[in-house]
Amino acid sequence: MSVLALLDRFRLPQHRLVSLLPLAALILLLPLLFPSAYYYRVAALIFIFAIAGLGLNLLMGFAGQVSLGHAGFMGVGAYAVAIGPSHLGIPPLLSFVLGALLSALVAFVVGRPILRLKGHYLAVATLGFGVLLAIVFTNEANWTGGPDGMTVPRLILFHWPLRGAETWYWILAASFLVGAALALNLIDSPTGRALRAIHDSEIAARVLGVDVAEKKLMIFIVSAVYASVAGSYLALINGYITPDVSGFLRSIELVAMVVLGGMGSVVGSLVGSAVLVILPQALTLFHDYEHLVLGLIVMGVMIFLRGGIVPSVAAALRGWRP
């Protein structure tokens, strides 16, 4: 919320999407600083995880429901664009959409029973769900290639095969901005207010007529679609997919991004993703101690910027204002 407050200050004539303008400008200008195609690729990866982070942030940061299995939905999206064209003869773009719909369906079926759980119980149930999907992707070797994974056919848009890090940069930047706009729309809507209300007091929300179970299920489905879209993009940009995409570590990484960037902050999803994508690349000079240093940095951020990076910085900026 504090980030929304910060975004509020950038609002010119109070339109909720004006806050995305500085972000869009940054995305436009950033490539001027890129010395090589490698940077486009890193930025593209950041956008992919930021899209998954946006969805998870709607679930965790706004509705207050944790999921430790969201990489499972990334896996559904990723394998949809891999299996659809190569095994079923479905065009890649259609597979992409069908993957998102399948994720929504899976979220609908799984969400009903497990969203009745709260707190740690919900965390463990979603964890189990994510592990289950990862096992399916590993074991159904005839379809998925098993632990070795499978190649993903290139996405062809109107006879134009998508290739090259630069092309993907623009596609993913646009997708992220669309995802962020949809998230901001939702936050300032009856559904969004109800979700944020549920986070603070379920009892009061129910007494005011909010169907808590239905709202939780809706946002679970929405966040699953975000993850699925991110998974599809990841598979397409890499051209290859292994069950790791849906693994437990990936789920934890997604949660870490949301918490690190800032719960309930749209911009925080991007910042959290940037930190967890860039840091491992930057820390390769530590060789064997890479993960140790990464862990220490993440711990340090959480200790000193408790609300996550973006909300903490926003609060500090507010404090400095005369």
Give the interface with another protein as residue ranges (CB under 8 A).
1, 16, 182, 185-186, 188-194, 196-197, 199-201, 203-212, 218, 221-222, 264
Alpha carbon separation from 115 to 14, 80, 136 (Å, rounded) = 35, 25, 22
Closest separation in Å from C-beta 197 to another protein: 5
Closest separation in Å from C-beta 299 to another protein: 26
Instruction: For residue 3, give every residue at least 6 positions away whose Cβ sits within 8 Å of its Cβ, in sequence order, or none.
Output: 262, 264, 265, 266, 267, 268, 310, 311, 314
Closest separation in Å from C-beta 230 to another protein: 17
Is residue 212 within 8 Å of 202, Cβ to Cβ? yes
Nearer to another protein, 9 or 154 (CB): 9
Closest separation in Å from C-beta 219 to another protein: 8
Nearer to another protein, 63 or 236 (CB): 63
Nearer to another protein, 48 or 197 (CB): 197
Nearer to another protein, 45 or 227 (CB): 227
**Tokens describing residue 135:** 């096992």
Is residue 300 classed exposed, middle or buried when 0-12, 13-18 and 19+ CB atoms within 10 A define those classes? exposed
Closest separation in Å from C-beta 280 to another protein: 33
Nearer to another protein, 2 or 67 (CB): 2
Nearer to another protein, 130 or 261 (CB): 261
Local structure of 240: helix, strand or coil: strand
Closest separation in Å from C-beta 209 to another protein: 3
Nearer to another protein, 171 or 222 (CB): 222
Sign of dihedral through CA atoms 239, 241, 244, 246? Answer: positive
Concatenated DSSP letters of 139-174? H-HHHH-GGG-EE-PPPEETTEE--SHHHHHHHHHH
Is residue 162 classed exposed, middle or buried when 0-12, 13-18 and 19+ CB atoms within 10 A define those classes? middle
Q: How far apart are the first and last CA of the chain?
A: 22
* Paired strand residues for 150: 241
Closest separation in Å from C-beta 80 to another protein: 21
